[in-house]
Amino acid sequence: MGKLIIPIDIATKVLDYVKEKLPEESCGLLAGSDITVTIEIPITNQLHSPIKYFMDPMELFKALEMIETLKLDLLGIFHSHPKGPPRPSETDIKEFLYPGVATIICYPDSNNWKMKAFLIEHDCYTEMELVIE
Ligand SMILES: [Zn+2]
């Protein structure tokens, strides 16, 4: 999987959620079919920290169950970097648990918030083609 498509209304909802949670890092899941995201599921950052996140395990469990019930696939995990950088941190790489699932980083770029998608494998990352349409 080298490409991910996020419809613009879903991308907007994710970035609105991320901005609403500032100054904390926020996180959640993106699910859909093939390479297209069809739903976003925000998950509480249990750490309520501006520099790290940990998805609330009960919310995560329920979200994964819902994705299965809807017969969708987990395509990505998003989280924000309120102070950058616009790429996975060393901790993100070290603690990544979902091979094949995209890591979406939301970050501020002057007055705008943007997102980039990455694949984390073998202790390194590669940027994916992210289409927001
Ligand atoms: Zn991170």
pLDDT tens digits along 32-62: 999 999 999 999 999 999 999 999 999 999 9
Kindly give the distance from the C-alpha atom of residue 55 to the centroid of ligand 1, in angstroms, as a whole number: 12
Beta partners for residue 77, in sequence order: 29, 103
pLDDT in the model for residue 110: 85
Pick the CATH number of 3-132 from 3.40.50.720, 1.10.10.10, 3.20.20.140, 3.40.140.10: 3.40.140.10
Work out the burial of residue 125: count CB atoms within 10 Å of its CB; fewer than 13 is exposed, 13-18 middle, 19 or more buried.
Answer: middle
Quote the mean pLDDT of the chain: 96
Kindly give the distance from the C-alpha atom of residue 11 to the centroid of ligand 1, in angstroms, as a whole number: 18
In the chain, where the domains are located: 3-132
With vertex at residue 3, the alpha carbon angle to CA 105 and CA 101, rounded to the nearest 5 degrees, is: 55
Q: How confident is the model at residue 1 (pLDDT cuts 50, 70, 90)?
A: low
Kindly give the distance from the C-alpha atom of residue 25 to the centroid of ligand 1, in angstroms, as a whole number: 8
pLDDT in the model for residue 71: 98
Whether the predicted pLDDT of 30 surpasses 90:
yes
Kindly give the distance from the C-alpha atom of residue 53 to the centroid of ligand 1, in angstroms, as a whole number: 7
pLDDT in the model for residue 118: 97
